[in-house]
Amino acid sequence: MSLEITFLGTGSAFPSPARGASALVLRREGRCWLFDCGEGTQTQLMRSHLRAARITKIFITHLHGDHIFGLPGLLCTLSLQSSPDGSSRAPVEIFGPLGLRSFLRRSLELSHSQLLFPYAVHELVPTPDQCPPEEFKDFSGWDRGEEGPPGRVLRLDPGEDSYLLLEDEQLVMRAFRLFHRVPSFGFVLEEKPRPGKLNVQKLKELG
């Protein structure tokens, strides 16, 4: 499995002329997975060899602004690059902490933005021990009774220490809890074992 990692931004709190806010792209088999989308991510993408239209999955570590303020704008740009019926691109899957769906919906609604492609928001339900008690907020009821993009709500199973996000014949993608000022997640990409091939005739010749 061939993987390529491109750092688009490593800055903290705010971007600078020489360093963008948090964003990283993992390219796999021509598809791009974006991790965090700080302010200026679109500009950094334009400066790179990557194409925004290749982004099929987005993973958000936490809801601090330097990790998410670029996301609504990026989605709008992807929409402008889509055909009117949305048939030119696959659905974009977005993973992140509980509250991400509400942030996106409000941002797009208040800016009168309509996305011309399908997308889904999969929210990870944090546990109260992921941040200082006074910083923990329960966003579980914010979207009750309101329509929004499709997506799953992922809870930590009893006895487990990670959330299963994706799995195919080559890899497994999981999220695990981090301690920060607000609930935060790290992401782990694991390649499945690849059985080798034995040259039986050569083994026989070698005894």
Q: Which residues are catalytic?
A: 66
- Burial of 112 per CB tally in 10 Å (0-12, 13-18, 19+): exposed
Task: Report whether 96 contacts 151 (CB < 8 A).
Answer: no
> What is the enclosing helix (H) or strand (E) of 80?
helix 71-80
Q: Give the contacts of 115 (CB within 8 A, at least 6 positions apart).
A: 75, 76, 78, 79, 108
Tokens standing for residue 202: 């050569």
Task: Report whether 52 contacts 42 (CB < 8 A).
Answer: yes
Report the C-alpha gap between 30 and 17 in whole angstroms: 29
> What is the enclosing helix (H) or strand (E) of 55?
strand 55-59
Task: Report whether 143 contacts 104 (CB < 8 A).
Answer: no
